[in-house]
Amino acid sequence: MAEEKPTPLELRRAGFARYKKDVKERGKSFYPFAMFEDTVMSLVVVAVIVGLAVLWKWTSYGPHHDGLHKGVIGPEYAPPADPGTVSFVPRPDWYFYFLFYLLRIFKWPESVFLGTIGVPTIALILLLALPFMDVRLERRPSRRPVAMVAAVLTIMSMAILTWKGATAKEALASEVIADVPSWVKTEKLPAAAVPGAKLFATAGCTACHTYLGTGGSNLGAPDLTNIGTRNLGISFQIRHLECPSCVNPGSPMPKFASLGTARLRQLAIFLESSKGKQ
Amino acid sequence: MAIRRAPSKAQVRREQMLAAVNYPLDWLEERSGLVGGVRYFLFRKVPSDTNWMQTLGSATLTAFIVQALTGVILAMYYKPSPHDAYASIQNITDHVTMGWLVRGMHKWGASVFIILLFLHMGRVFLFGAYKYPRELNWIVGVLLLVLGLTEGFTGYLLPWDQTAYWASVVGINLNGTAPFLGPWLAQFLRGGQEISGDTLSRFYSLHMLIIPGGIIALITLHLYLVIRLGVTSPPWSKEAAGREVVEEPAPVRTGLTRPAPHGGGRD
């Protein structure tokens, strides 16, 4: 009698039936054996959470009676939200740093889409499709070199991106303002552009944009050192600052309309005068 | 010949006690089958050599339960309006009795929850536990990861401080860069053209009703599948329960990094 080779599906079904039989015959009862380990681990988790809460409270508000004090792992809260000031550096919670830092790699406008949507969507599709891409029965890590290398590379890149996001330099308005005289000199800015330059340094622009090497380079924001060479025009600059996404659909830049037309005009003059190193 | 003696007083008491304990359980079992269900859950067999790494799933569940309980308490004191939100957060953290503990556990529990989600996923990947017949449970798990991250994003705005506000302005704008649905999604999240009180109440509703509801539903499905399909044993298991894949002939390849397998396979 010729024996037919079992199909992969039959192999899997037979393997799972054997697993069920083995567990039934030789397995241990979930309670109390496995449940004991689960309980110990859960208690550790709760203890860690309580420990973090205590550390947070008793190094911030505890000794200082000020919830804004930084403490060891962060303040209780930042100053209240103020849509009028834009000098605050937008920063997500730490577990989004890897996404946040992707936007330093992909720049507006050519490739920012890859950083915001492209890479995360591809990663999600790969995750969902994993059990259908890897259909071998083999489970031992030593015999799954491709899967293990892919896992190590994924973990390493996420760790590096998170670390880079955590240590990314923030451009503080008080430090950036000191650079304005050197900007005037290097770019040979006219006197009319100086108020706009000071505003640029203090209004939060450098949280994302760079200018002559100063600034944050976040969220895909382009360098503005020689934005004036594109001759976009004062009125375009004002319209763009008032509502970036109205002019450039899909721009992640916040609206700066709250600065008022007069100050936006100063900013626009500064930007249009920025023709790079002269 | 056995002599039938009258039961002693102690024996009678014991039987009465047992009947008193069993009566409500029997009542419940007869009408719902729940007692049998719980018994099946507790006394089901798992592989004899499960690993400590396999406690990460229940640890993630514990972190979620901590988030749910502390979240309910926070909702009793938090006021989701741009005018009151910040003050109510200050009040909870600095004045309400043990409020700092509840908010601290919620704030830091979120990070612990996310870390555990990733660790649990890593363990499942390492063990190859996403393979037949557990593909569907892997997908449910990925959806749980996405919903967990969404909880993080929506919860971050609620304290209504500068960090929260500007991270959300940019985060919503980034959602808006998606093709086709992006602008619509950004508009929906903001509840208008600008971030406002409407945005805050939207995020609050998403954060404490819709997304947690989805998470609870998916966790239920996740656990149902774990119980139905059984717990995987470590892939390096020498126990019989780990042999579910051994029939696949091991590739006999030799090379610089891989010596010839002894006897062509395991066991």
pLDDT tens digits, B58-88: 999 999 999 999 999 999 999 999 999 999 9
- Reference A116, options A242, A256, A218, A244; nearest CA is A218
Residue scoring higher pLDDT (B259 or B70): B70
Q: Do B86 and A80 lie within an 8 Å CB cutoff?
A: yes
Helix axes of A145-167 and A97-105: crossing angle, nearest 10 degrees: 80
Q: Do A31 and B43 lie within an 8 Å CB cutoff?
A: yes
Q: Do B108 and A52 lie within an 8 Å CB cutoff?
A: yes
Q: Is A252 part of any domain?
A: yes
- Average pLDDT (A23-29) is 91
pLDDT over 90 at A76, yes or no: yes
Tell me: the pLDDT tens digits for B115-160? 999 999 999 999 999 999 999 999 999 999 999 999 999 999 999 9
At a CB cut-off of 8 Å and minimum separation 6, what does B71 contact?
B106, B208, B212
Domains identified in chain A, total number: 2
Spatial separation of the C-alpha atoms in residues B167 and B163, rounded to whole Å? 6
Closest residue in chain A to residue B146, using alpha carbons only: A124
Q: Is A90 part of any domain?
A: no
At a CB cut-off of 8 Å and minimum separation 6, what does B39 contact?
none
Q: Do A12 and A18 contact (CB within 8 A), yes or no?
A: no
Chain B residues with CB under 8 Å of A107 CB are none
Q: Which two tokens stand for residue A213?
A: 């090497």
Within 1-40 of B, beta carbons closer than 8 Å to A belong to none
Q: Do A253 and B174 contact (CB within 8 A), yes or no?
A: no
Q: Which two tokens stand for residue A94?
A: 């730490």
Q: Is A21 part of any domain?
A: no
Q: Do A17 and B31 contact (CB within 8 A), yes or no?
A: no
- Reference A86, options B156, B166, B171; nearest CA is B166
Within 71-130 of B, beta carbons closer than 8 Å to A belong to 82, 86, 89-90, 93-94, 100-101, 103-105, 107-112, 114-116, 122, 125-130
Distance from CA of B75 to the nearest CA of A (A): 18
Tell me: the pLDDT tens digits for A148-203? 999 999 999 999 999 988 887 776 777 788 889 999 999 999 999 999 998 888 88
Spatial separation of the C-alpha atoms in residues A203 and B239, rounded to whole Å? 65
Q: Is A4 part of any domain?
A: no
- Reference B121, options B47, B50, B60, B46; nearest CA is B60
* Residue B238 half-sphere exposure toward CB, CA atoms < 13 A: 1
- Please give the pLDDT value at position B261: 52
Residue scoring higher pLDDT (A30 or A113): A30
Q: Is A224 part of any domain?
A: yes
Distance from CA of A77 to the nearest CA of B (A): 7
Spatial separation of the C-alpha atoms in residues A66 and A59, rounded to whole Å? 10
Amino acid at A22: D
Q: Do A90 and B52 lie within an 8 Å CB cutoff?
A: no
Confidence of residue B241 (pLDDT cuts 50, 70, 90): low
Domain at B53-230: CATH code = 1.20.810.10
Domain boundary among A62, A78, A94: A78
E strand residue ranges, A99-213: 210-211
Whether residue B133 has a cis bond before it, omega within 30° of 0: yes
Nearest to A26 among B90, B101, B240 (CB): B240
| CA B65 to each of CA A213, B69, B71, B219: distance values in angstroms, whole numbers, following the listed order | 47, 6, 9, 11
Spatial separation of the C-alpha atoms in residues A245 and B186, rounded to whole Å? 11
SS3 A80: strand
Spatial separation of the C-alpha atoms in residues B63 and B57, rounded to whole Å? 10
Amino acid at A245: S
CATH code of A258's domain: 1.10.760.10
Residue boundaries of the structural domains of chain B: 53-230
Q: Do B63 and A45 lie within an 8 Å CB cutoff?
A: yes
Q: Is A71 part of any domain?
A: yes
- Please give the pLDDT value at position B267: 43
Domain ranges, residue A38: 28-78
- Please give the pLDDT value at position A38: 97
Q: Is A199 part of any domain?
A: yes
Tell me: the pLDDT tens digits for B165-183? 988 988 888 887 777 888 8
pLDDT over 50 at B266, yes or no: no
Instruction: Among A10, A19, A25, pick the best mutation site for testing chain B contact (most B Cβ within 10 A).
Output: A19
Buried b (16+ CB within 10 A) or exposed e, B116-144: bbbebbebbbbbbbbbbbbeebbbbbbbb
Spatial separation of the C-alpha atoms in residues A49 and B101, rounded to whole Å? 10
pLDDT over 70 at B253, yes or no: no
Tell me: the pLDDT tens digits for B171-217? 888 887 777 888 888 889 999 878 889 999 999 999 999 999 999 99
E strand residue ranges, chain A: 28-29, 210-211, 214-215
Chain B residues with CB under 8 Å of A82 CB are 162, 165
Cα Dmax for chain B: 94
| Residue keyed to tokens 């985060």 | B171
The residues with which A214 forms a beta bridge, in sequence order, are A211
Q: Count the Cβ atoms, other than its own, within 10 Å of residue A188.
A: 12
pLDDT over 90 at B13, yes or no: yes
- Reference B57, options B15, B107, B113, B134; nearest CA is B113
SS3 B84: coil
Q: Do A141 and B237 contact (CB within 8 A), yes or no?
A: no
SS3 B100: helix
Residue scoring higher pLDDT (A204 or A57): A57
Q: Do A23 and B45 lie within an 8 Å CB cutoff?
A: yes
- Please give the pLDDT value at position A138: 87
Mean confidence (pLDDT) of chain B: 89
Q: Is A70 part of any domain?
A: yes
B43 touches chain A (CB under 8 A): yes
Chain A residues with CB under 8 Å of B52 CB are 37, 41
Confidence of residue B257 (pLDDT cuts 50, 70, 90): low
| Residue keyed to tokens 């741009």 | B82
pLDDT over 50 at B265, yes or no: no
Closest residue in chain B to residue A8, using alpha carbons only: B248
pLDDT over 70 at A2, yes or no: no
Chain A residues with CB under 8 Å of B241 CB are 19, 22-23, 26-27
Point out the least confidently predicted range of A43-47, A258-262, B62-66, B227-231: A258-262
Q: Count the Cβ atoms, other than its own, within 10 Å of residue B155.
A: 23
Size of interface A-B (CB pairs under 8 A): 288
At a CB cut-off of 8 Å and minimum separation 6, what does A163 contact?
none
| CA A75 to each of CA A51, B90, B161, B163: distance values in angstroms, whole numbers, following the listed order | 16, 12, 11, 11
